[in-house]
Amino acid sequence: MPFDIPVLSDRDLTLRPHNDADIDPVHSRSVDPVSQQWTTVPLEYTREMAAEYVAAISRPQDKEISWALDVNGAYVGTLDLRFKGDNSGDLGFVTAPEYRGRGLMSRAVGLAVTYGLDNLGWDLVNWSANTGNIGSYKTVWRNGFPPPIAVPNLLPHRGRMVDGWVSSLAAGDPREPSGTWAAWNDVAANLPPLPSTTLRS
């Protein structure tokens, strides 16, 4: 049975279904170099591909909820909550370049996590990213996700497997940061490199 796409709000931020007005900003953030570095969006991404993508995710899907982030009518990014079975799901998200650094995606993750754990009754929400994607981890760190575990060859990326970070938040876990961001950065700076080939910028 397909998941509904509920409208969720936090002050000026709204999570809503995608619509045709999102096609051009989706295309713009998909060809952004930072998006292409850390995601698997095709390198030769066209507006037609963006239109097909928006059409597919704007309606209820069997294993995924895709929200557009909206601030005062402007598209800010996309957040996916993906059902993985066993009463758990994964997060996936990308922020439009001009809205990065404002904490908007962290607020959206908070809304999505609350919906998955409290409204859908899931036991666990997982996050993963290519090793070194500090911005992505900071987004979930603000919502209580513990320091990530580094796993060699975890994720597919443009025809090869790359090292990844993974972290999980359970239904009963606190949903605020544990410790300071500066303390985690100090630990991360001294982590030994993984033995496999890690994605480089």
DSSP codes of every residue in 103-115:
SHHHHHHHHHHHI
> pLDDT at position 199, please?
42
Q: How far, in Å, are 43, 44, 67, 75, 141 from residue 88 at the CA level?
A: 31, 33, 18, 28, 19
Q: What is the pLDDT along the chain (201 residues), one digit of tens a residue?
A: 789 999 999 999 999 999 999 999 999 999 999 999 999 999 999 999 999 999 999 999 999 999 999 999 999 999 999 999 899 999 999 999 999 999 999 999 999 999 999 999 999 999 999 999 999 999 999 999 999 999 999 999 988 999 999 999 999 999 999 888 888 877 676 665 555 444 433
Q: List Cβ neighbours of 1 (8 Å cut-off, separation of 6 or more).
A: 62
Q: What pLDDT, on the 0 to 100 scale, is given for residue 195?
A: 53
Percent of the chain past pLDDT 90, that is, above it, reads 84
CA–CA distance, 98 with 65 (Å, rounded to integer): 24
Arch. (CATH architecture) of 8-189 = 3-Layer(aba) Sandwich (3.40)
- What was the pLDDT predicted at 194? 56
- What residue ranges do the domains of the chain occupy? 8-189
Task: Tell me the residue type at 198.
Answer: T
